[in-house]
Amino acid sequence: MLGPPGAGKGTQAERFARERGVPRISTGDILREAGHSGTELGLAAKAVMEAGRLVSDAIMIGIVKERLERPDAVPGFVLDGFPRTVAQAEALDGMVDDRAPLVVVDIEVPDHTLVRRLHGRRICRVCGWNAAPGATVCARCGGSLVQRSDDGERVVLERLHVYLKDTQPIVEYYRRRRTFRSVDGDQAPDAVAADIASAVAAVLGGRA
């Protein structure tokens, strides 16, 4: 699942995975898990994050590879936040070479909509859960909601700039494949979910 910050890919990835009984694999989640695992890769990732640096392709690829080899990911999975570079995309091709086709869905949303969404987004102060629009307390733990520190308007515009520079090449890497689909993310969440399901079904010949 690809898309810029604010496109709703995390929400849609979680929904798609839940409805099909496969794991949603979020890089944020697996990095946090790796940091507590005590493995060599996990400790390396933790040290990098604590120093405020980006986790390297080599570490990220190793952690994702380990996650995809677990039994619950054998029937399928939904990736959210990986790959973020062309090198990671190339490595992912090798990881799934003997599996079912890798379906790539890019959620497209206009910049002005992304800025509005991100600027108005709230997360739980206690558990970090992303709140639904209009929510006043966290649906997961009941905690109070606050604006993310990286959701101020100026920071949002910079994040979108970084996405276009660093992540858009991944879209171009996949665009020519028959397993690539774009969906309109500038509509109600249920409509986006329906379009994603239709796109995946079209790629898999009716199976989604």
Residues tagged active-site: 9, 84, 121, 148, 159
Q: Phi/psi class of residue 132: alpha, beta or left (left: φ > 0; alpha: ψ in -120 to 50)?
A: beta
Contact 147, 28 (CB under 8 A): no
Count of C-beta atoms within a 10 Å radius of residue 148: 14
Residue showing tokens 């898990």: 33
Count, in order, helices (H) and strands (E) of the chain.
Answer: 9, 6
The amino acid that residue 104 corresponds to is V
Q: How far apart are CA 169 and CA 157, in angstroms?
A: 19
Count of C-beta atoms within a 10 Å radius of residue 37: 16
Q: Which of 73, 78, 81 is nearest to 27 (CA)?
A: 81
Instruction: Report angle CA 134, 24, 37 to the nearest 5 degrees.
Output: 110
